[in-house]
Structures are given as C-alpha cells and as structure tokens.
Amino acid sequence: MEKDENNHIKNIEFLHNISREKYNFLMDNIDKLDQKFTTLFSVNVIIISIIFSLNVIKQTALFFMGLTLIIVAVIIAVIGYIPKVFRDVAIDKLWEKNYNTDYKTTIESITSAIIEAYKTNKNVQDIKSERVILAFVFSLSGIVIIVLSQIIIC
C-alpha cells in the first residue's frame, strides 16, 4: 500500500512540475505579446507622425483609408496592451491553508491553484493573441494602401 501512495505522490509531483512550467511559459508569452503591442503602437505612431510632418504626400480617398486603418491598428494595440485580470497563485493563502497539512495535500492544493490560474490566464493570452494579429493586419493593410495611393498618383 505504501508503494501505491509513493507512486501517487510522484504523479502529483510530476503534474505539479508540468503545470508550474506551463504557467511560467504562459506568463512569458503574455509578456511577449505586450511587447508586440508596444512595437506595433510605436511603429504606427511613427508612421502617422511622418505622414503628417511630410506635407508632400498627396491625399486621396485611398490615402485616407490607409491612414484610417493605421489609426485603427493603434487603437487595437492600446486596447490589447491594457492589462487584463490575471490570476496569480496566492502563495500567502496557500501557505496559511497548507502550513500544517501533509505533503500530498499541500502539493495537490498548490497544483490545483496553478492550474486554475493557468486557465484564467490562458483566456487572457488568447484574447491578446487575436488582438496582436488584428492590429498587425490593420497596420500592414494601412501601410500598403498608403503606398499604393502614392504609386497610383505618380
């Protein structure tokens, strides 16, 4: 019976390690998505400021459509960057709850908390990923349309 208990604890430890690694990987991905939002925002704002500082660009309806797409990309980037509600693993509460419990109960409790936080944060990551792609598509489309508007005029 003790061997079964040891195997059970080893399985729990294994799942704990995997869930902790996945949680850390997810949080790194969310950080990288925020960096992409910042880059998209910066590039688009620079493009907009260059467009407005160079008054030599001929403004056609196609040009304004491209400019609008870039502005929409900036708005999406700002909205996407705004922090969402992340779920963290409350170590202080887990400490208080599991201080006097056995090892198996403690690791099960911590692993469950990590998995719950992962589920919540995964949804946040998915939303941020969709918005990064959307902002990139709007940005790229706007740039292409602006360039085409200038090529067509020449």
Could you read off the pLDDT of 11-59 as tens digits, one per residue? 888 888 898 899 999 999 989 999 999 999 999 999 888 887 776 566 7
Q: What is the pLDDT of residue 24?
A: 92
Length of the chain: 154
CA 60 to chain centre: 36
pLDDT band, very low/low/confident/very high, at 149 (cuts 50, 70, 90)? confident
| DSSP H or E stretch at residue 20 | helix 2-53
Residue 80, Cβ density class (10 Å: 0-12 exposed, 13-18 middle, ≥19 buried):
buried
Contact (CB, 8 A) for 60 and 149: yes
Q: What is the pTM of this model?
A: 0.76
pLDDT band, very low/low/confident/very high, at 82 (cuts 50, 70, 90)? confident
pLDDT band, very low/low/confident/very high, at 91 (cuts 50, 70, 90)? confident
Domain count, the chain: 1
In the chain, how long is the greatest CA-to-CA distance?
84
Q: What is the pLDDT of residue 135?
A: 93
Which residues, other chains included, contact 22 with Cβ-Cβ below 8 Å and sequence gap of 6+? 118
Residues 142 and 43: their CA atoms lie apart, in Å, by 12
Q: What is the residue range of 146's domain?
A: 2-153
**Is 80 exceeded by the pLDDT of residue 154?**
no
Torsion angle (degrees, nearest 10) of CA 13, 14, 19, 25: 120
Q: What is the pLDDT of residue 81?
A: 84
Residues 114 and 17: their CA atoms lie apart, in Å, by 10
pLDDT band, very low/low/confident/very high, at 130 (cuts 50, 70, 90)? very high
**Is 80 exceeded by the pLDDT of residue 2?**
no
pLDDT band, very low/low/confident/very high, at 5 (cuts 50, 70, 90)? confident
Which residues, other chains included, contact 128 with Cβ-Cβ below 8 Å and sequence gap of 6+? 30, 33, 34, 37, 80, 84
Residues 129 and 137: their CA atoms lie apart, in Å, by 12
